[in-house]
Amino acid sequence: MDHHLQEFYRQSSDEAPRGNFHTVIALHQHSEISWQKIQEEMPCLCRGWYELAHLNSKDRIEFLRDFWLAKLPYRNGLNESINHFFSSLDDIGIFLTQKKFEDPFQAHLVYSIQNNGGFFRGASPASDQILSNLQKAFSDYILPNDYFAFLQIHNGFCKATDCTGIISAEKVPDSYSVLQKLIQGSDLMMLSNRKTVDPKTLIPFYESFGMPFYQCFWTEWYPEQEMGNVYYSAEAKTISDVFSGASNTEIMAFSTFTDWLMFYLERIE
């Protein structure tokens, strides 16, 4: 596994007083822990992840790859992107962490890239109720199906030690409110075709390393019969100019959530 994982998942102790967590359990290394104990003390862990921890590294990688491919709607280039991502991994670990004493445990799947290439962390899947609540919070719009499909894989997903990444479904309404406050009082943004952008039409689903940079669904842009997404900088108060003629990756504007996800999964340099 990537050597940065040992530093990130450091448990506090007399020898390591600045550890990031009060308790860390690498479940894939402790298969002796019973499902009954998990249910009683760590209800955050789903049964599927518990079973996954009992497989070897190769089987964990193959199982999760097939699960992603089955769960996400087909998109041109998606299979190749996912296969490339999973072929770059040397392991997938299941970590249970407790931030402070008496805090509830949290569960993460950790995707470790070969040759100390970094890692990704994925939170537990979103329940149907969580997804329903998210859609109700933005009932004027139909959020993209591929976005909801990914939340059923990981309700929160980020690179390395990024404190945010893909925002968990429960926190999207609050992030939306924060974004509106950041934009409040500023002039409406104007794109190259002189179209103005109402800030209320931007729904954030990704926050960059705790900085005021967001990837947002734009409820007025449907490039392929699906709500597209754009990059918003709260510092510059600008969004991707989708009418400029520049390439999508250059301006960070994507026709679908899946297109953005494929971009995000590129190898960490």
- Percent of residues in the chain assigned helix, strand, coil, to nearest 5: 35, 20, 45
| Domain assignment present for 87 | yes
- CA pair distance 145, 141, nearest whole angstrom: 12
| Domain assignment present for 144 | no
| Domain assignment present for 78 | yes
- CA pair distance 241, 252, nearest whole angstrom: 9
The total number of structural domains in the chain stands at: 2
| Domain assignment present for 216 | yes
Q: Which of 68, 95, 124 is the last residue of a domain?
A: 124
Domain range holding 257? 169-264
214's CB contacts (< 8 A; 6+ apart) are 175, 179, 202, 204, 206, 207, 208, 231, 232, 234
Tell whether 33 and 101 lie within a shared domain: yes
Tell whether 84 and 187 lie within a shared domain: no
Tell whether 184 and 120 lie within a shared domain: no
- CA-angle at 248, arms to 246 and 252, nearest 5°: 110
- pTM of the model as a whole: 0.92
Tell whether 119 and 31 lie within a shared domain: yes
pLDDT in tens, the chain (269 residues): 878 888 888 888 766 666 789 899 999 999 899 999 999 989 989 999 999 999 999 999 999 999 999 999 999 999 999 999 999 999 999 999 998 888 899 999 999 999 988 999 999 999 999 999 999 999 999 999 999 999 999 999 999 877 789 999 999 999 999 998 888 755 556 565 567 788 889 999 999 877 789 999 999 999 988 899 999 988 877 888 888 888 888 899 999 999 999 999 985 54
Tell whether 107 and 173 lie within a shared domain: no
